[in-house]
């Protein structure tokens, strides 16, 4: 399997011995080797044939059929051989020329917040929403408040998610005055598409206790009105994460469970069979654990609690590499900076156009000191927790690399698989260091489409923008990289993950760093087998091989053969988790 480092070490067996052993064991293991001639002892529950099957297994890239039993893949081979696993009760599914792949694995996202996104006002720009200016943002909020009075009553807030100042006609963030026009009596919260900024109306600022006397918290910003200390409504980083979550605490256990299940449903629509709860709160972990205990999770969920604010959740029976009720805690998440499109990422060189109120030397800012970052990574290494670090800017990437280097020197080498989330602006020298230290880059390549024009013209300039999410550079080094959607920052679209890597075109249709394009096959691997490797799950997921989980996605077109620019038009037809359908397009 390409990109996955070998763990076999120096052990060697004569090739002839391996071949004889494999042939002897094949019938007992239920394997289909070529055109199986003997009648298998095993009988499949389901057989899939009649389409294109992309196995993501370099040793057997395609197949004519797949047999499934007890939620696992029984056999993969040619159609004639697979049909020999058919019994009287076997269901034979004709794919009808469609394409089957391994179920997509969410390398980084926030499944609980996707549920919030599903029930909040949609403030996304086209093609995912209809908000193009401040007026349409206000209209969307008023419409949601009118159509969802129960939701507003439950939270006590009018909530919208996904506005993007770079896509608004005014090219600015909404202010408290803009949101006061929606309501002066009910708190209004609108979350920036990056997830690192939010805007509040006057009632909302009052609810969280922000006034002219409030000092900006470490790692956070409260933007002020010109010539005044009075907040203008925009808050970012640690000024919004902890405070807002605590103030939105009216939701009870049943509400939280409904939100999580709504997020999982949304993931399934896009072909995912494994979801992540990144930067998980204690409440989110408790909700996921409760649903797991009730057997209500229809896909695997891996949580990475916030090591800074929810470290107590990184414990208990769910902290494991194995799932219990389809839930586990995979390790810890640390956040070292903000977002590039929101101009809060921490860079080594200044932003092309600094945000309002900042000088030409503005490079963003860190979320914590080096001492804090070193301590958090040290804690993860000491406890054996896999660490995921949010690093958008290259200065934040430097900080994480330094911390991992220190912890590795202290605790010695090991198969820890630390992950740099986003790695948007990593340099070539940083990729060299990451390979040396075993840091996996999980790129956010969808930025090339959604914010590529903005990065080129306002955030980074042409040179640095052309290198965002440099997947080809990682591939040349033989590094296993993953790609993600970071939903609800974007929709949890597996298809746009593929499209953006293969094409690297912006919303305006301009190529952005074409030299960093990767093949459709490598794009698929980034969200299947490589993502499984990131999770230490490559033995059970990520490719279609006997013994692995029967996690599948069926697409209406083959991403390997369709016109690359039409990959974005591919539709998910069906999502199957351990042999059972969890989503089917209507």
Task: Give the residue extent of every domain in the chain.
Answer: 131-247, 271-540
Query: CA-CA distance, 409 to 403, in Å (whole number)?
Result: 10
Quick: pLDDT tens for 554-579. Answer: 999 999 999 999 999 999 999 999 99
* Cβ–Cβ < 8 Å for 334, 373: yes
Closest to 337 in 3D by CA, of 442, 242, 229, 196 = 196
Mention every residue, 6+ apart, whose C-beta is less than 8 A from residue 24: none
pLDDT digits (tens, 9 = 90+) for 426-448: 999 999 999 999 999 999 999 99
Q: Pairing relation of β-strands 197-200 and 231-237?
A: antiparallel
Q: What is the mean pLDDT of residues 166-190?
A: 94
Provide the pLDDT confidence category of residue 37 given band limits of 50, 70 and 90: very low
Q: Is 427 exposed, middle or buried (0-12, 13-18, 19+ CB in 10 A)?
A: middle
Q: Is the pLDDT of residue 219 over 90?
A: no
Enumerate the β-bridge partners of residue 367. Answer: none
Determine whether domain 271-540 maps to CATH 3.40.50.450.
no
Which H or E element spans position 303? strand 300-305
Residue 354 near residue 343, CB atoms below 8 Å: yes
Nearest to 54 by CA among 369, 271, 370: 271
Are the beta carbons of 389 and 426 closer than 8 angstroms?
no
Q: In CATH, what class is 131-247?
A: alpha beta
pLDDT in tens, 354-377: 998 899 999 999 999 999 999 999
SS3 206: helix
Confidence of residue 582 (pLDDT cuts 50, 70, 90): very high
Dihedral of alpha carbons 215, 221, 224, 228, sign:
positive
Burial (CB count <10 Å: 0-12, 13-18, 19+), residue 414? exposed
Q: State the Cα–Cα distance between residues 286 and 90, nearest whole angstrom.
A: 39
pLDDT of residue 2: 45
Distances (CA, A) of 215 to 194, 211, 219, 223: 24, 9, 12, 11
pTM: 0.85
Half-sphere exposure of 514 (CA within 13 A, CB side): 3
Highest-pLDDT range among 60-64, 117-121, 487-491: 60-64
Q: Which band of pLDDT confidence, cut at 50, 70 and 90, is reported for residue 194? A: confident
Q: Given pLDDT bands bounded at 50, 70 and 90, which one contains residue 6?
A: very low
Q: Tell me the DSSP string of 160-198.
A: EEEE-GGGSTT-S---HHHHHTT-SSS-EEEEETTSSEE
pLDDT band, residue 538 (cuts 50/70/90): very high
**C-alpha to C-alpha distance for 25 and 481, rounded to whole angstroms:** 34
Report d(CA 129, CA 430) in Å as an integer.
36
Q: Are 527 and 77 spatial neighbours (Cβ–Cβ below 8 Å)? A: no
CA distance 147 to 510: 39
């Amino acid at each position: 399997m390409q990109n996955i480092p070998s763990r076999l070490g120096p052990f060697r067996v004569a090739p002839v011995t391996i071949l004889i052993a494999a042939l002897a064991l094949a019938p007992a293991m239920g394997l289909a080797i070529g055109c199986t001639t003997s009648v298998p002892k095993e009988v499949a529950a389901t057989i899939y044939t009649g389409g294109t099957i992309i196995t993501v297994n370099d040793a057997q890239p395609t197949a004519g059929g797949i047999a499934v039993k007890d939620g696992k893949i029984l056999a993969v081979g040619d159609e004639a051989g697979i049909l020999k696993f058919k019994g009287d009760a076997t269901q034979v599914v004709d794919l009808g020329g469609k394409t089957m792949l391994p179920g997509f694995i969410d390398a980084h996202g926030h499944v609980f917040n996707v549920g919030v996104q599903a029930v909040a006002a949609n403030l996304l720009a086209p093609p995912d929403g209809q908000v193009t200016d401040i007026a349409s943002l206000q209209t969307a909020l008023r419409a949601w408040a009118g159509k969802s009075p129960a939701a507003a009553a439950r939270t006590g807030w009018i909530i919208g998610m996904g506005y993007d100042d770079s896509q608004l006609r005014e090219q600015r963030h909404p202010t408290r005055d803009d949101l006061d026009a929606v309501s002066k009596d009910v708190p209004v919260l609108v979350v920036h598409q990056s997830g690192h900024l939010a805007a509040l109306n006057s009632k909302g600022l009052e609810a969280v206790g922000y006034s002219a006397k409030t000092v900006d918290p470490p790692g956070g910003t409260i933007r002020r009105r010109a010539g005044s200390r009075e907040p203008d409504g925009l808050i970012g980083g640690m000024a919004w994460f902890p405070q807002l979550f605590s103030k939105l605490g009216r939701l009870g256990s049943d509400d939280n469970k409904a939100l999580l299940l709504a997020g999982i449903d949304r993931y399934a629509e896009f072909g995912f069979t494994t979801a992540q709860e990144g930067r998980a709160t204690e409440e989110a972990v408790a909700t996921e654990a409760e649903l797991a205990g009730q057997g209500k999770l229809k896909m695997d969920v891996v949580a990475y609690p916030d090591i800074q604010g929810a470290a107590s959740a990184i414990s208990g029976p769910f902290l494991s590499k194995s799932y219990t009720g389809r839930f586990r805690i995979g390790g810890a998440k640390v956040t070292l900076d903000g977002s590039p499109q929101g101009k809060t990422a921490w860079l080594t060189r200044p932003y092309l156009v600094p945000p309002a109120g900042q000088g030409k030397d503005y490079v963003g800012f860190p979320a914590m000191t080096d001492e804090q970052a070193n301590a958090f990574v040290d804690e993860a290494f000491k406890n054996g927790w896999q660490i995921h670090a949010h690093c958008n800017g290259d200065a934040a990437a430097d900080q994480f690399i330094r911390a991992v280097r220190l912890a590795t020197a202290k605790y010695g080498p090991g198969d820890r698989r630390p992950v740099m989330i986003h790695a948007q602006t990593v340099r070539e020298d940083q990729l060299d260091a990451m390979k040396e230290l075993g840091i996996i880059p999980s790129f956010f390549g969808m930025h090339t489409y959604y914010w590529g024009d903005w990065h080129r013209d306002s955030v980074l300039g042409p040179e640095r923008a052309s290198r965002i999410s440099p997947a080809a550079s990682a591939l040349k080094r033989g590094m296993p990289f993953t790609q993600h959607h970071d939903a609800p920052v974007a929709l949890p679209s597996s298809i746009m993950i593929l499209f953006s890597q293969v094409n690297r075109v912006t919303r305006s249709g301009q190529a952005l760093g074409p030299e960093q394009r990767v093949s459709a096959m490598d794009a698929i691997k980034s969200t299947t087998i490589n993502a499984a490797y990131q999770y230490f799950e490559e033995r059970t997921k990520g490719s279609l091989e006997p013994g692995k989980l029967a996690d599948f996605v069926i697409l209406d077109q083959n991403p390997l053969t369709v016109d690359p620019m039409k990959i974005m038009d591919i539709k998910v037809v069906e999502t199957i988790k351990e042999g059972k359908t969890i989503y089917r397009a209507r």
